């Protein structure tokens, strides 16, 4: 018997998930999280309009499915930049169906039901569910009516959910939100989303404008969760916000009966947080041994080396790899009281400065003592990094930005071997991973779908 959407959602939205992070939740980090034991992974937030400007490509080199930008829709400025770099096309989303099938949630940045549906229909064959970002407080998102702007417009938020539910018969729909002004407001907002058809809800224990260096409001989350659970006993309900240790999120889940946890900054600090303890023959609620010094955690050098190996497998641009690594080396967006428990010790004395000085994947591998060998499918023989790496798209990467975190931490007297970085959310939704072929998409025989502009516009009933 084919499971219902509700049953699919209850199976999918369980356990430990890599949260959506712009620039960070790209293929290498998602693959690393799954390697370590994550139960599901989210893409970075992908804006509906950006997705609709892509062409679907089956990448025979990497054995992935890629959504690349339709260059005819790019601005003249971007087209000129691409021309200077050989007309190699930026890619928005890369998916590895071998490891991600059944565990991949595509997060949409959207403020309009019609656009959300069109974007979802464009990529639905390659993802397992859709999540609507209703929590991002950044200006670029809110000004477009997306993210946390939807918290102030429940009617529009519910219309987006309802539209997706009415037209997607095989994909669960979830929402990631933040706390509202008070407990009842949050519960009412969640209730509206569920009544509109949401299959699952994730709640970030911060309100819009709540600084990341201040602790998440777990007390408020503890007020909201039981009320939501009492109204919707079978709803997959996930928590998010400062769960930096397995002990913390397991204790919360055991006490309040939540379905799972979304890990963002904790996964960047040490992605091996997804490593699970061995099955226990007796039921236990004692997770005290899985705190900051959990025996399950790998040392941070090993984690970064493993991330680099995944990067070699999926060939993102070296600027994106460098950005993620420097984010792994920082406490700048960590709650202040946690910083003393979260050191950055690297055996090779690597620093953010040394990492920023790297100009290629090969340089990064040399710094971190990883053998440099680009992924090569048996039918292809290129080992030239330039054949794999396409331009950095519309994401902006600045070494000065990463280095500022090092300076900030020194100023704040945070002592560790390596300091710095920022847990920043990007200001652009153009993905920062790239098509691994030297052929431009206009001549590639692997394109199997039409640009969005050539498809009929979806009419919402």
Local confidence band at 91 (pLDDT 50, 70, 90 cut-offs): confident
Q: Which of 54, 41, 139 is nearest to 96 (CA)?
A: 41
- Ordered structural domains, the chain, with CATH: 5-274 (3.20.20.70), 300-443 (no CATH)
pLDDT tens digit sequence for 399-414 = 777 776 565 544 333 3
Provide the angle, in degrees to the nearest 10, between the axes of the packed helices 399-411 and 318-328.
Answer: 10
Cα 48 from Cα 68, distance rounded (Å): 14
Q: Give how far the C-alpha of residue 345 lies from the chain's centroid of Cα atoms, to the nearest Å.
A: 25
On the question of pLDDT at 445 being above 70, the answer is: no
pLDDT tens digit sequence for 115-129 = 999 999 999 999 999
**Across 29-43, 216-230, 241-255, 268-282, least confident range:** 268-282
Per-residue pLDDT, 379: 40
Local confidence band at 439 (pLDDT 50, 70, 90 cut-offs): very low
On the question of pLDDT at 449 being above 60, the answer is: no
Angle at the Cα of 256 from the Cα atoms of 32 and 423, rounded to 5 degrees: 35
On the question of pLDDT at 418 being above 70, the answer is: no
Q: Which of 207, 214, 292 is nearest to 248 (CA)?
A: 292
Q: What residues act catalytically?
A: 136
- Torsion sign across C-alpha atoms 289, 344, 206, 264: negative
**Across 15-29, 92-106, 220-234, 374-388, least confident range:** 374-388
On the question of pLDDT at 48 being above 90, the answer is: yes
**Rg (Cα) of the chain, in Å, rounded?**
21
Per-residue pLDDT, 2: 77
Per-residue pLDDT, 282: 61
Q: Which of 427, 378, 375 is nearest to 401 (CA)?
A: 427
Per-residue pLDDT, 73: 75
399's tokens = 């070494």
Q: What is the mean pLDDT of the chain?
A: 84
**Across 105-109, 207-211, 449-453, least confident range:** 449-453
In the chain, the percentage of residues whose pLDDT exceeds 90 is: 69
Per-residue pLDDT, 404: 67
3-state secondary structure the chain: CCCCHHHHHHHHCCEEEECCCCCCCCHHHHHHHHHHCCCEEECCCEEHHHHCCEEEEEECCCCEEEEEECHHHCCHHHHHHHHHCCCCCEEEEEECHHHHCCCEEEEEECCCHHHHHHHHHHHHHHCCEEEEEECCCCHHHHCCCCHHHHHHCHHHHHHHHHHHHHHCCCCCEEEEEECCCCHHHHHHHHHHHHHHCCCEEEEECCCCCCCCCCCCCHHHHHHHHHHHHHHCCCCCEEEECCCCCHHHHHHHHHHHCCCEEEECHHHHHCHHHHCCCCCCCCCCCCCCCCCCCCCCCCCHHHHHHHHHHHHHHHCCCHHHHHHHHHHHCCCCCCCHHHHHHCCCCCCCCCCHHHHHCCCCHHHHHHHCCCCCCCCCCCCCCCCCHHHHCCCCCCCCCCHHHHHHHHHHHHHCCCCCCCCCCCCCCCCCCCCCEECCCCCCHHHCCCECCCCHHHCCCCCCC
Per-residue pLDDT, 397: 63
Cα 213 from Cα 424, distance rounded (Å): 12
Read off the pLDDT of each residue in 440-445 and give the average, rounded to a whole number.
33
295's tokens = 């025996």
222's tokens = 């503890």
Read off the pLDDT of each residue in 221-226 and give the average, rounded to a whole number.
98
Per-residue pLDDT, 72: 78
Read off the pLDDT of each residue in 236-265 and give the average, rounded to a whole number.
97
Question: Which residues, 6 or more positions from 80, have their beta carbon under 8 angstroms from its beta carbon?
Answer: none
On the question of pLDDT at 376 being above 90, the answer is: no
Cα 122 from Cα 119, distance rounded (Å): 5
Read off the pLDDT of each residue in 442-452 and give the average, rounded to a whole number.
34
Q: Which of 70, 107, 163 is nearest to 458 (CA)?
A: 163
Local confidence band at 281 (pLDDT 50, 70, 90 cut-offs): low
User: Bigger pLDDT: 458 or 224?
Assistant: 224
On the question of pLDDT at 246 being above 90, the answer is: yes
The structure tokens 């003592």 sit at 369
First and final CA of the chain: distance in angstroms?
Answer: 30
Per-residue pLDDT, 11: 97
On the question of pLDDT at 394 being above 80, the answer is: no
On the question of pLDDT at 178 being above 90, the answer is: yes
**Across 149-158, 183-192, 379-388, least confident range:** 379-388
Largest separation between any pair of C-alpha atoms in the chain: 63
On the question of pLDDT at 362 being above 70, the answer is: yes
Read off the pLDDT of each residue in 3-18 and give the average, rounded to a whole number.
96
């Amino acid at each position: 018997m084919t499971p219902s959407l509700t049953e699919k959602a209850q199976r999918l939205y369980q356990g430990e998930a890599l949260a959506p992070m712009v620039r960070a939740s790209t293929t290498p980090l998602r693959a690393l999280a799954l390697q370590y034991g994550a139960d599901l992974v989210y893409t970075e937030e992908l804006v509906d309009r950006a997705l609709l400007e892509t062409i679907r490509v089956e990448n025979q080199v990497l054995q992935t499915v890629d959504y690349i930008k339709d260059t005819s829709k790019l601005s003249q400025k971007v087209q000129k930049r691409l021309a200077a770099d050989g007309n190699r096309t930026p890619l928005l989303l890369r998916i590895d169906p071998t490891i991600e099938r059944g565990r991949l949630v595509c997060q949409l940045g959207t403020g309009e039901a019609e656009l959300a549906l069109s974007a979802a229909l464009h990529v639905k064959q390659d993802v397992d569910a859709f999540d609507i970002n209703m929590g991002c407080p950044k200006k670029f998102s809110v000004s477009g009516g997306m993210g946390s702007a939807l918290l102030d417009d429940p009617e529009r938020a519910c219309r987006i959910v309802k539209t997706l539910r009415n037209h997607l018969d095989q994909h669960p729909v979830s929402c990631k939100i933040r706390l509202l002004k008070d407990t009842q407001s949050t519960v009412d907002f969640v209730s509206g989303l569920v009544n509109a058809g949401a299959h699952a809800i994730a709640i970030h224990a911060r309100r819009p404008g709540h600084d990341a260096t201040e602790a998440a409001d777990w007390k408020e989350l503890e007020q909201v969760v039981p009320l939501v659970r009492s109204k919707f006993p079978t709803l997959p309900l996930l928590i998010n916000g400062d769960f930096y240790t397995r002990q913390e999120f397991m204790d919360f889940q055991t006490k309040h009966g939540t379905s799972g946890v979304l890990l963002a900054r904790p996964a960047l600090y040490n992605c091996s947080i997804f490593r699970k303890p061995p099955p226990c023959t007796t039921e236990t609620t004692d997770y005290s041994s899985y705190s900051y010094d959990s025996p399950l955690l790998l040392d941070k050098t090993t984690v970064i080396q493993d991330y680099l190996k995944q990067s070699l497998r999926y060939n993102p641009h070296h600027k994106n790899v460098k950005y993620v690594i420097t984010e792994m080396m920082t406490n700048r967006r960590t709650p202040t009281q946690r910083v003393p428990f979260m050191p950055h010790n690297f055996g090779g004395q690597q620093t953010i400065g040394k990492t920023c000085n790297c100009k290629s994947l090969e340089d990064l591998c040399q710094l971190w003592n990883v053998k440099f060998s680009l992924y090569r499918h048996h039918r292809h023989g290129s080992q030239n990094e330039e054949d794999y790496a396409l331009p950095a798209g519309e994401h902006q990467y600045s070494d000065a930005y990463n280095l500022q975190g090092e300076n900030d931490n020194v100023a704040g007297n945070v002592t560790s071997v390596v300091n710095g970085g920022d847990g920043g959310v990007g200001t652009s939704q153009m993905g920062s991973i790239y098509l691994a072929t030297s052929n431009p998409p206009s001549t590639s025989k692997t394109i199997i779908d039409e640009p969005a502009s050539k498809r009929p516009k979806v009419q919402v009933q």
